[in-house]
Structure 1
Amino acid sequence: MSLVPNLLRGAATLLLLTTGDAQAQTDAPVAPPAPADSQAMLLWFLLGALALVVALVALLFTALVIRLRPQLRRIYELPTVRGSWSGQVLGLLVGDAVLVRGEVRDEILDHDYDGIHEFDNDLPPWWKYSFYATILFAIGYLGYYHVSQSGQLQGDEYAAEMQQAALLISADADDPNKLTTYAALTAAGDLSSGKSLFVTNCAPCHGVNAEGKVGPNLTDEYWLHGGEVNHVYKTIKFGVPSKGMVAWKGKLSGKQILQVSSYLLSLQGSNPAGAKEPQGEKEAPTKPVAKL
């Protein structure tokens, strides 16, 4: 009768031991992954070791060639060896660069052009090898970029980089990459204010009548940075430092910049005296009409 209780106690003890081991394994700390700095150091160590091995092999090879140079020279002088391609490779080791520079025969052909004689010399092998390399490069470039379209062309790469750069710039009112959606002002008061602001701030470069001086003529249909009101607004607000156009943000309010932009569009086709020649691309923006 005591056999069953003993078996039960043994099973319970075994279960407790098993559970304890499992709990100990679960609670055991997991080794953290190696940090990135350690991996980088290991990579540089392996690269350094590889470079050292390559340098040692090159040094041993150079020492061996120098030691065996007399024997290699005698082998190279054999008629059956010297004319072969492998013999020319051997010639590089003994100081004869015929494989690279070719043989200069200096044989004059039976051609005479105003006292200028033509020599019958082949193109230098290094030049021909370089030309063959450009052909292989062109085939690889064509296949990679145009046939398989695996790589980005310059235009696509530029667009992708500009898109990534735009993500780093906050898309708020001071974002030069975010075009506004304003409509041109047409009220007489706004256009009058825009004229006053233009004469005060913009006339020194663009003329009192926007005919153009240092800056371009703003009364024709040609625009360097866009003739729609939001493009004109952007040009005035952020300026074009590379062309000498200053940024007016911080000096004029947003409404004032829109008033100036709308006033400029109202001058389209006014043809003032002494107007500067057209610059930029031809556009036909909507001309605001004052609401009296």
Structure 2
Amino acid sequence: MLAPVKTARLGLLTAAGLLLSGVANAQTPEAAAPAKAAGMNEQEVLFWVLLGLLGVLLLVLLLVGITIVMQMKPQLRQLYDLPTVHGTWSGKVLGLLVGDATLVRGEYRDELLDHNYDGIHEFDNDLPPWWKYGFGFTIVFAFVYVGYYHLTQKGQLQAAEYETEMQQAALLVSAGSDDPTMLTTYLALTTAADLSTGKSIYATNCAPCHGANAEGKVGPNLTDEFWLHGGEVNHVYKTIKFGIPSKGMVAWKGKLSGKQILQVTSYALSLQGSRPANAKPPQGEKEKAGKPGGKPVAGL
């Protein structure tokens, strides 16, 4: 009785093992699928194979062409020496195959002229044809360029292209007080309290670079009419808020509030024409004071 039971158990274990093996085999392709997806698909493989075959074919054709030219060089030379062929355009191209570079270097080379000065002889060399053709191309290109960009005005010049790119870039940045492409429309503060606060902020944060009297040290002089990034109140406000990292100007956004930035801006502009001692030479473009305008700053 025990033998049949053992045989039955052995059969069940064998069947279970086969079943688990089948399940594992069935899951293997699924597990391998992501790895296959990470590689190239059939179309990509076919593309690279065809590209490789095309490269090999072009190389073979090039080698065959060179071999044919080398084998037929005597016959090509005889054809090139014919008067009806030698002076033609196709004959000059043929000359390149037989070793005559006239098409590239010109007809005359190191031709000695019949006069000299104090033993100094002069040679007459042709300009290389490729240079003359290139010069003619630049003339044609200049007429096309002027006609397209300046006469018909269908093409954008550098300034217009820059403005277009800036407008496209502005679409990617949310408009608002933190948009560096948008200028504010604030008025300069003129009250004694605001200017006093601006003076304190300037002495603490700005004087090390611009000088105690804004005469300029590492940074530019702020008391003259010359400005690197605009001298109108909103341009100065923008410069202080967002900084000019490429020139070492720190961005004070997040360190000073909007009201504090406008206060120090107004104080700096109040120093215009103060003529401090040891003032740094002018930098940037001369800019006249802007007309009054803007909005109140109660929201800052």
Q: Residue 58 and residue 158 in structure 1: after superposition, are their counterparts in 2 closer, same or farther (change >3 A)?
A: farther
Measured in 2, the distance between the counterparts of 1:255 and 1:264 equals 14
1:211 aligns with one of 205, 212, 215: 215
Q: Residue 180 and residue 45 in structure 1: after superposition, are their counterparts in 2 closer, same or farther (change >3 A)?
A: farther
Measured in 1, the distance between the counterparts of 2:91 and 2:124 equals 24
Q: Residue 230 and residue 73 in structure 1: after superposition, are their counterparts in 2 closer, same or farther (change >3 A)?
A: same
Cα drift, residue 236 of structure 1: 0.7
Measured in 2, the distance between the counterparts of 1:137 and 1:286 equals 43
Equivalent pair of 1:211/1:274 in contact (CA under 8 Å): yes
Q: Deviations over 1:182-214 (max 9, x none)?
A: 111122111111000100111111111112112
Structure 1, unmatched stretches of 5+, are 1-36
Q: Residue 165 and residue 115 in structure 1: after superposition, are their counterparts in 2 closer, same or farther (change >3 A)?
A: farther
Measured in 1, the distance between the counterparts of 2:134 and 2:253 equals 55
**Equivalence for 1:99:** 103
For 1:171-186, list aligned pairs within 5 A.
171-186=175-190
Cα drift, residue 283 of structure 1: 2.7
Measured in 1, the distance between the counterparts of 2:179 and 2:145 equals 38
Cα drift, residue 39 of structure 1: 11
Cα drift, residue 222 of structure 1: 2.1
Q: Residue 74 and residue 110 in structure 1: after superposition, are their counterparts in 2 closer, same or farther (change >3 A)?
A: closer
User: TM-score w.r.t. structure 2 length?
Assistant: 0.72
**Equivalence for 2:252:** 248
**Equivalence for 1:152:** 156
Equivalent pair of 1:265/1:285 in contact (CA under 8 Å): no
2:90 aligns with one of 65, 86, 98: 86
Q: CA RMSD in A?
A: 3.1
Equivalent pair of 2:186/2:233 in contact (CA under 8 Å): yes
Letter in structure 2 aligned against 1:218: L
Does the residue aligned with 2:122 lie in a helix, a strand or coil? strand
**Equivalence for 1:227:** 231
Measured in 2, the distance between the counterparts of 1:248 and 1:102 equals 66
Does the residue aligned with 2:181 lie in a helix, a strand or coil? coil
Letter in structure 2 aligned against 1:182: Y
Q: Deviations over 1:53-109 (max 9, x none)?
A: 876765654444344333212211233322333222211122222221123453322
* Residues 1:193 and 2:212 aligned together: no
Measured in 1, the distance between the counterparts of 2:266 and 2:291 equals 8
Cα drift, residue 132 of structure 1: 2.1
Measured in 1, the distance between the counterparts of 2:42 and 2:145 equals 37
Measured in 2, the distance between the counterparts of 1:285 and 1:269 equals 11
Aligned residues: 252
User: TM-score w.r.t. structure 1 length?
Assistant: 0.74
Does the residue aligned with 2:150 lie in a helix, a strand or coil? helix
1:116 aligns with one of 114, 120, 125: 120
